[in-house]
A and B are shown apart, each in its own frame.
Chain A
């Protein structure tokens, strides 16, 4: 393979390109919020506040809620 004169790899990685905040915002606004709603259902729903009636969600995620550090009973 000596004849394929490969350019030596740069010793330090080139500076990474920044992603414009404008490009991030729409994703953050929609998916960031969606992720927070998911976290609410794992960490708090049917505890201090209830969006759904009953205790099904609380009971289902109960062990994870305790072990992930969220307040429970």
Chain B
């Protein structure tokens, strides 16, 4: 019975992630592609070697972009649903929708926002191709570290809540999270490879677009998954319309 509930939530998380991915793809196509194209234009103007195109730009910016964002949305949706299953009823008196919203916000902050502050998204042509190994290790390492510190902060916060109350425990664990992250950011190596003449507006707009795409994806996921999870966990709840039958004061 419980296993079936987890399965239902996992499937709904993946569906919610897919739907959120669809919205994020639309936004990425509209506000993200100009930056990708500008980066490639800069690159073409500064390099003399032209590689043969495996996948045309037209396909990369439509079907390719859709594949990436939809697969990403589905995958993170599934993982977030599993995190939701663990968090439900264990992080305070939150219902299904509030827990889904908290999971979505936490995932956005730990999987994207904090790593982004140290290693922001970069358009094509603004990094040295040879450093891809180092940059990949640092970026994925930063995500893993932030998620681990975040989970640790929640666990410590739950322990502290019994003694110091929910408010103080939440403040203390949030402060601990920020302190550890700030320390890690200070000691991890920086990646500053942007060429001197790379257009600053392209870089800024590309990074804003990336932030917007991820923010939309996680917001949509939180809302859609919250709705689906709530219904999955209360299959026999009265129809929302019936709530209107509350006795009205005369």
Contact = CB atoms under 8 A, between A and B. Distances in A.
Interface in A19-71: 19-21, 23-24, 26-28, 31-32, 34-36, 38-39, 41-44, 47-49, 54-56, 59-71
Which of B2, B53, B125 has the most chain A CB atoms closer than 10 A to its own CB? Answer: B2
Contact of B54 (A8, A9, A55, A72): A55
B3 A16 contact: no
Interface in B172-212: 206, 209-210
Nearest to B25: A64
Interface string B118-160: 0111111101010011011101100000000000000000000
Which range holds the interface residue count of chain B? 35 or more
Contact of B75 (A35, A60, A67): A35
B168 interface: no
Nearest to B212: A67
Contacts of A44: 136, 140
B233 interface: yes
Which of A15, A41, A69, A72 has the most chain B CB atoms closer than 10 A to its own CB? Answer: A69
B242 A6 contact: yes
A62 B233 contact: no
Contact of B88 (A13, A16, A27): A16
B112 A69 contact: yes
A65 B64 CA distance: 10
Contact of A71 (B76, B96, B135): B135
5 contacts: A23-B3, A24-B86, A42-B75, A66-B36, A69-B214
